[in-house]
């Protein structure tokens, strides 16, 4: 298999990616795109020139088995014809007064929903700009397992201790997601781009 660095100037992630776009009139696109991990199924559609994903892995592969890794063995996600598998991908547009205010999203499997939610909370409720919202520390909890993971170097030991004293199990781990977003500042009419510094292939650009 070729290394994509032979063709591109920068290393590009081999799995899920997200981009957000705004045009001069304020129309927005929010798109999360996935092959799943590691080049998807590694099969190229003949004559098409594109890789097929392996999202089939997001179906409930082992009925009835619910484990601490987050596999949930419920019947609604069983494989069947014409069904679509469970997905956490959450390309999101937040609107205000019927017009797009911001477009956001992220890769990260089951952490995507929490990453996206925290971006919205950071901007709308905590008054951060889109870039600050991207950089703020992230947490994740997905019911099963009953553990809250927190990004390393983002939360003080005091905060973690207080949270654990309330009975929560915590786990500190590396980065969560790779968010990309655009924001329309209604006060000055400017469009702002936010690119997550957690990864090396992010970027914000205006044309």
Q: Which residues bind ligand DON (CB under 6 A)?
A: 15-16, 34, 36-37, 55, 58, 87-89, 107-109, 112
Output 107 or 194, the one with its CB closest to ligand DON: 107
Q: Answer yes or no: are the C-beta atoms of 55 and 32 closer than 8 Å.
A: no
Output 109 or 181, the one with its CB closest to ligand DON: 109
Output 37 or 170, the one with its CB closest to ligand DON: 37
Output 58 or 194, the one with its CB closest to ligand DON: 58
The DSSP bridge pattern shows strands 139-140 and 28-33 to be: unpaired
- 151: closest CA among 188, 114, 183, 123? 114
| Tokens coding 137 | 């520390």
CA–CA separation, 197 and 201 (whole Å): 9
Rg (CA), the chain: 19
| Tokens coding 125 | 């409720």
Q: How far is the CB of 68 from ligand DON (least distance, A)?
A: 19
Q: Answer yes or no: are the C-beta atoms of 190 and 167 closer than 8 Å.
A: no
Q: How far is the CB of 206 from ligand DON (least distance, A)?
A: 27
Active-site option among 16, 17, 32, 92 = 16
Q: How far is the CB of 138 from ligand DON (least distance, A)?
A: 14
Is residue 74 among the annotated active site residues? no
Q: How far is the CB of 90 from ligand DON (least distance, A)?
A: 9
Q: Tell me the catalytic residues.
A: 16
């Amino acid at each position: 298999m070729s290394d994509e660095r032979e063709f591109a100037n920068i290393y590009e992630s081999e799995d899920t990616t997200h981009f957000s776009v705004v045009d001069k009139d304020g129309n927005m696109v929010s798109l999360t795109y996935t092959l799943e991990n590691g080049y998807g199924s590694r099969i190229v559609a003949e004559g098409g020139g594109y890789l097929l994903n392996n999202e089939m892995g997001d179906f409930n592969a082992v009925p009835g088995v619910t484990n601490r890794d987050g596999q949930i063995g419920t019947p609604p996600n069983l494989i069947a014809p014409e069904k679509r598998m469970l997905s956490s991908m959450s390309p999101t547009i937040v609107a205000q007064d019927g017009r797009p205010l911001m477009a956001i999203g992220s890769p990260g499997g089951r952490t995507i929903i929490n990453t996206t939610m925290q971006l919205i909370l950071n901007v709308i409720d905590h008054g951060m700009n889109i870039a600050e919202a991207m950089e703020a520390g992230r947490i994740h909890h997905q019911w099963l397992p009953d553990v809250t993971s927190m990004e390393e170097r983002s939360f003080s030991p005091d905060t973690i201790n207080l949270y654990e004293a309330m009975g929560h199990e915590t786990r500190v781990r590396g980065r969560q997601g790779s968010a990309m977003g655009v924001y329309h500042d209604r006060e000055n009419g400017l469009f702002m781009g936010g690119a997550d510094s957690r990864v090396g292939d992010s970027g914000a650009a205006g044309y």
